[in-house]
Structure 1
Amino acid sequence: MTKKILKLFVLSLFVFSSCTKEDSFDDSIVIEASQKDPLSPQQINAKIDESINTKGLFNWKEASNHLLWSAMAQGQNIATIGFGNSASNFDRSMTSNNQKIQNDLLAIIKKHEGKELDKILISSDNYLNLLDVIIEKQETVIALRNSNYLRYLEPSGYKYFEVKNQYSKSASSSGCGLESSTISSLDYTTITPNALAPWTFYKHNITSAWSYSTGAGVTIGVVDTGASTVNTLFNSSFNDGYSSGRTVQKFGVYVDSIWPWSTTTDGANDKCGHGTSMSSVAAAPRNDNGQPVGVAYNSNLITYRAASNVVLDGYHEQNGVKNAFTGLANNTNVKIISMSMGHVFSVGKIEDGIKYAYSKGKLIFCAGGTSTDFTTFVGVIFPAWMAETVAVTGIKETSTYQACDVCHTGSKIDFTIMMQRAGTGNTVPVNSYNEGQGDYVGGSSVATATAAGIGALVWSKHPTWTRDQVLTKMRQSSHLYPNKNAEYGYGMLDASLAVQ
């Protein structure tokens, strides 16, 4: 009896040992001793900068496992997983097995992290094939990257600009400022019923275009820092003067928190000022209050407070932009989306959001880039370089094409807007965040919002057209068409030609 028990014990030990060895063999991930500690934030940024300087771009897909994991470790361990049956499979509604893929990927994380789901999963997007999760171990990164269903894996909590220590807390470097400015009488023309038409409108024949179209029936979505809830021209007086029969809506999707699980937004009000400026140039009313008018002054407007400033650095800002794009994509009334914010390298979840909006027929305008002292080495920024977006930049008031002092140019640019005066250097008059006051705004930001407004004029004139027909008409009406310049695209838009 004792011998039988001993034999059974030895046999069971052998079976257990065999299974354990097989499991460990299949799943063993060996990490070199030199890569067991994460890189410092400065080392991570150095590798990113090296790629941008040598290749012109950086993408986390090309990063080593160690670099990717290091950025996660230096960014609260927050990661975004884009999944699907192929590289282009971003839409949940087009993925019948999306839940199975999601569960399989989460199972990989649970196994290697040794944690339950509630300690891993931050959120699962309702419309896109992506997850936000917590990953602490490099082994998990390697295991996920071996999955055939992984489209991308990114460290969504890592703050590149914060590490550079240049972006800091300066409002000017982030595109923010709630102050007002006195607008020079040389920079506008007073038009009925007592509105100010900015000087740049005449350079693009926008006031002439109003004889044919004022943007009625078209809804523009502005993805930015929100819109003022103080200035009545974006609230109760949105229909003022010659503007009538239109609507304005404001949404807040930005969560101002260091905690990734937090979902409480800080509202729709613009706490930066940049979003108010963009909304102003695109669709401010043709008012009787002596304030600047927008390009498409009879268009509907939807604003999203998606970020705290124009540099999309960090989890909640990138998540907010993604949510803004999916929200606008699912709104059938929206035809045009304008975003004058960006990053120096791609962000997977924002790419997915833009592709989702594009798949819904939206015409998307994005800023080509406006330099601060830490982005001068970058060409056209993300997401303006995407095929799904229309990239716009600003030029000076000269007879030849010259980029504005802080505007980026490059082969991805589609259109230019003249927005910097030759003599004074003044930019474009807009409505201030504050009631009854004006301000100036420049760079590729204002150029983008202006182009979006012109797009609304064209679509309003031809309401049955598709996005591609509107874009083709805009190209055909531009100064350099049919040629495309290597730095300035099709050149200056002519709004009057575009609506005839």
Structure 2
Amino acid sequence: MWKVSTGEGVEVAVVDTGVSDTPSLQGRVTTEGIPQDLGYKATEDYDGHGTSMAELIAGTGADSSLKGLAPDAKIVPYRIAMDGFDNKSERAKAPDLAAVIRAIADSDVDIINMSFTTSIDHSAVRDAIDYAHSKGKLMFAGTGNDAETKNFIGYPAAYPYVIGIAASDESGAVGKFSEHGNYVDLAAPGLDVPTWCDETLRSYCVGQGTSMATAIASASAALVWSAHPDWTANQVLASLIDTAGRDWAKDDPSTYLGYGLIRPRKVLEDSDYNPGAADTDPLARENAAGVVDEEGNPATPATSAAPSTSPSTEPSGKDTAGGQTSAAAEPDASDDTTLWVALGAAAAVLVIGGGAVAVVRSRRRA
């Protein structure tokens, strides 16, 4: 794919725990255009999660570090307060999520990566998402990692115009933890993926979560948009939906994996690919229907004035306080080759090879 596109010319906003300066991200992170009141410590990661997502998207692989799927894309970091951020003083200084999304909407950013989830529907965030959509932004969010317990409706993935990303393994099966519902739109590798172990950024660990899947989906879109800079967000998304790997009818999406496993190679290998009309929303049916429960009835989410979000990452080893999870796991003394294998095991089949299809699916109501 990199013979056709490396993501050059595309900016991806990583709304997360901050993005630190690592060897892998040197020359890839820019704060240009971030409003001063929303950029507080944007380049200081208090958890390691945001930096991991940025590297999965645009890491260069320098100094035996992680190389991302779109290594020439640019990362624009925004640091918000997620669950587990215990410093009350710092939390108070973190920018408001709705304000962040609106600022990104008014910037040159093309893609918004939101590797976090909450069960609360925030009206201000919903309105900001609508505004970003009106500005032609492509938005990805993880569906969450609580499928084995409560499987709550995960926002912002469940908002209209946000592409909800599920996590799959190298065989194409959905991760047992990956939350499901009619707001799942696509799937990407999210198991056995390397991320930073913690905020010290000293070593990589093998983790899993819809966070990683979301980052890989954003990077996939960056590859396509870089190759076709004249396309709209609708056309980029339509191409990814059309070429997604699935063994079911395109008009009968899966509750677990949506329209299938993301495969940007299938778009990039066809120089004459037709993405359809620029103004046609490929998720118009889902966006009009809204979120429904397993019985097909409109869901009634909890509401709150103040966002509280969790990284959509399930660690291999430990849980953090309150049952929320971070990107932490047991340290792994991996060299560059091992990291490539760890990423390649998932990405080569689903993203690059494009040959796998889902093992588990369920017809969804929408």
Q: TM above 0.5, one fold?
A: yes
Matches within 5 A, 1:53-452: 209-229=1-21, 231-234=22-25, 237-238=26-27, 247-249=29-31, 265=40, 268-287=43-62, 289-309=63-83, 320-331=96-107, 333-371=108-146, 376-398=149-171, 401=173, 403-420=174-191, 427-430=192-195, 434=200, 437-452=203-218
Structure 1: unaligned runs, 5 residues or longer: 1-208, 239-245, 256-262, 421-426
Partner of 1:489 in structure 2? Answer: 258
In 2 relative to 1, CA 385–472 (structure 1 residues): closer, same or farther, beyond 3 Å? Answer: same
* Higher relative helix content: 1
Q: Give the whole-Å Cα distance in 1 for the aligned partners of 2:77 and 2:123.
A: 23
In 2 relative to 1, CA 251–358 (structure 1 residues): closer, same or farther, beyond 3 Å? Answer: same
CA contact (8 A) 2:24 2:61 kept: no
One-letter identity of the residue aligned with 2:183: K
Q: Residue 466 of structure 1: which of 217, 232, 237 is its match?
A: 232
1:76-101 CA distances to partner (integer Å, 9 max, x unpaired)?
xxxxxxxxxxxxxxxxxxxxxxxxxx
1:342-378 CA distances to partner (integer Å, 9 max, x unpaired)?
21020111112211111110000011112299xx313
Q: Give the whole-Å Cα distance in 1 for the aligned partners of 2:120 and 2:243.
A: 31
CA positional deviation for 1:340? 1.0
Q: Give the whole-Å Cα distance in 1 for the aligned partners of 2:180 and 2:33.
A: 32
Q: Percent identity?
A: 28
In 2 relative to 1, CA 486–216 (structure 1 residues): closer, same or farther, beyond 3 Å? Answer: same
Partner of 2:291 in structure 1? Answer: none
**TM-score w.r.t. length of structure 1:** 0.48
Secondary structure at the counterpart of residue 75 of structure 2: strand
One-letter identity of the residue aligned with 1:407: S
Q: Give the whole-Å Cα distance in 1 for the aligned partners of 2:94 and 2:116.
A: 11
In 2 relative to 1, CA 465–252 (structure 1 residues): closer, same or farther, beyond 3 Å? Answer: closer
Does residue 457 (structure 1) correspond to residue 231 (structure 2)? The answer is no
Secondary structure at the counterpart of residue 31 of structure 2: strand
In 2 relative to 1, CA 268–418 (structure 1 residues): closer, same or farther, beyond 3 Å? Answer: closer
One-letter identity of the residue aligned with 1:294: G
Q: Give the whole-Å Cα distance in 2 for the aligned partners of 1:438 and 1:248.
A: 23
In 2 relative to 1, CA 264–396 (structure 1 residues): closer, same or farther, beyond 3 Å? Answer: closer
Q: Give the whole-Å Cα distance in 2 for the aligned partners of 1:267 and 1:215.
A: 22
1:269-296 CA distances to partner (integer Å, 9 max, x unpaired)?
1111111111111111143x22110111
CA positional deviation for 1:322? 1.3
CA contact (8 A) 2:166 2:256 kept: no
Aligned pairs, how many? Answer: 261
Q: Give the whole-Å Cα distance in 2 for the aligned partners of 1:253 and 1:345.
A: 26
Q: Give the whole-Å Cα distance in 1 for the aligned partners of 2:201 and 2:13.
A: 22
Q: Give the whole-Å Cα distance in 1 for the aligned partners of 2:152 and 2:261.
A: 19
One-letter identity of the residue aligned with 1:428: V
One-letter identity of the residue aligned with 2:180: T
Q: Give the whole-Å Cα distance in 2 for the aligned partners of 1:264 and 1:296.
A: 24
**TM-score w.r.t. length of structure 2:** 0.64
In 2 relative to 1, CA 488–435 (structure 1 residues): closer, same or farther, beyond 3 Å? Answer: closer
In 2 relative to 1, CA 457–265 (structure 1 residues): closer, same or farther, beyond 3 Å? Answer: closer
1:312-339 CA distances to partner (integer Å, 9 max, x unpaired)?
xx995996211221121111x2110010
CA contact (8 A) 1:277 1:441 kept: no
Partner of 2:317 in structure 1? Answer: none
1:58-79 CA distances to partner (integer Å, 9 max, x unpaired)?
xxxxxxxxxxxxxxxxxxxxxx
Secondary structure at the counterpart of residue 415 of structure 1: strand
RMSD of aligned C-alpha atoms? 3.0
